[in-house]
């Protein structure tokens, strides 16, 4: 039984067909590289899995059970976490506040329930340490570098004890040195049995860390194979359409 199954998923916005009949499965701990040109349907696919909107047709299954996501929180409840390209952080809040946003630990009895700031600072410090990031829990996100922001966004998924993490271009906004860190982190998630869908334009990242590569073109899945059996050249051909399907 797969962790995640998509069967015949399509999505159209009015007359625009963003996704056509996509079938996909993910196993625990698997790292999937999702590739495709702009407008190929990667984002739509990810948004369906993340619960931003439901598919027009087709079904989603988590551990064999059919699910219907209407809001991102529905997907989160099933252990699906997203690290967004723009990182979806609140600039005016601290790193710790961002890590715990929407999941704040509290103490006291209703109606006197207060934010547990101490616990948030302590646990986010631990998470940043695990990520080998020097991000400090009390720092404002506004003042952080791209790498530190990435650490905050990733720490958030760790906190959630996610089963599937969707990462949208996690290495787009950071330096080469930090890319290695993020790829290490993806492996660490995978080692813990967390499945990762890595959306990336960067061929080396996908071939370094992904077990499997899926290529999207014009809303359809044109390839789904182990990275070991593919090559950057083949994937490039699939993305551009030089190779029809593989």
Partner 1 sequence: MTTLSDEPQDPQTHTRWSAIVSNHVFWVVIATVVACVLLSIVTSTFATSQNLFNVTRNFAFVALVALGMTAVIITGGIDLSVGSTIGISGIVLAVVMNAGWPLWAGIGMALLTAGLVGLVNGILIAYLDMQPFVVTLGMLSVARSLAMVISNNRTIFDFGPGGNSLLALGGGSFLGVANPVWFLLVFAVIFFVAFVWSRWGRYVYAVGGNRQAANLTGVPVRAITCSVYVICGLMAGVAAILEVGWLGAVTTGLGTGDELRVIAASVVGGTNLMGGIGGAFGTVVGAALIEVIRNSLILLGVNSFWQGTFVGSFIILAVLFNRLGGDRRGE
Q: Does 151 bind partner 1 (CB under 8 A)?
A: yes
- Binding span for partner 1 by CB under 8 A among 34-42, 147-155, 199-207, 230-238: 147-155
Cα 205 from Cα 193, distance rounded (Å): 20
Quick note: the x/- pattern for partner 1 over 23-62, rule CB under 8 A, is: ----------------------------------------
Integer CA distances (angstroms), 45 to 39, 101, 136, 222, in order: 11, 25, 34, 14
Closest C-alpha among 50, 16, 35 to residue 232: 35
Cα 49 from Cα 125, distance rounded (Å): 30
Shortest Å, Cβ 217 to partner 1: 27
Q: Does 175 bind partner 1 (CB under 8 A)?
A: yes
- Per DSSP, helices labelled H in 16-145 are 42-49, 72-77, 95-99, 117-130
Binding residue (CB under 8 A) for partner 1 from 7, 20, 61, 115: 115
206, 32 Cβ separation under 8 angstroms? no
- Binding span for partner 1 by CB under 8 A among 175-183, 199-207, 217-225, 232-240: 175-183
Integer CA distances (angstroms), 236 to 22, 38, 41, 201, in order: 20, 13, 16, 10
Binding residue (CB under 8 A) for partner 1 from 15, 16, 109, 143: 143
Q: By the criterion CB under 8 A, which residues form the site for partner 1?
A: 72-73, 76, 82, 84, 87-94, 97, 101-104, 106, 113-115, 117, 131-136, 138-140, 143-148, 150-151, 156, 175, 177-178, 181
């Amino acid at each position: 039984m797969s962790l995640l199954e998509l069967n015949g998923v399509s999505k159209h916005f009015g007359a625009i067909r963003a996704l056509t009949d996509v079938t996909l499965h993910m196993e625990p701990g698997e790292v999937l590289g999702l590739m495709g040109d702009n407008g190929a349907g990667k984002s739509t696919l990810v948004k369906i899995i993340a619960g931003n909107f439901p598919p027009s047709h087709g079904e989603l299954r988590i551990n064999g059970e059919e699910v219907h996501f209407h809001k991102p929180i529905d997907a989160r409840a099933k252990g699906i976490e997203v690290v967004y390209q723009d990182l979806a952080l609140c600039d005016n809040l601290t790193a710790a506040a961002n890590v715990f946003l929407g999941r704040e630990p509290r103490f006291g009895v209703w109606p006197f329930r207060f934010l547990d700031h101490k616990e948030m600072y302590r646990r986010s410090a631990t998470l940043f340490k695990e990520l080998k990031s020097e991000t400090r829990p009390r720092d404002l996100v506004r003042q952080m570098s791209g790498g530190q922001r990435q650490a905050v966004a990733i720490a958030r998924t760790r906190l959630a004890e996610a089963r599937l993490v969707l990462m949208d271009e996690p290495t787009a906004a950071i330096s080469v040195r930090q890319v290695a860190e993020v790829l290490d982190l993806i492996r660490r998630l995978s080692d813990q049995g967390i499945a990762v869908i890595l959306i990336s334009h960067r061929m080396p990242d996908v071939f370094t860390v992904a077990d499997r590569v899926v290529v999207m073109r014009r809303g359809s899945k044109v390839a789904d194979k182990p990275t070991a059996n593919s090559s950057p050249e083949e994937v490039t051909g699939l993305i551009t359409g030089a190779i029809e399907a593989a």
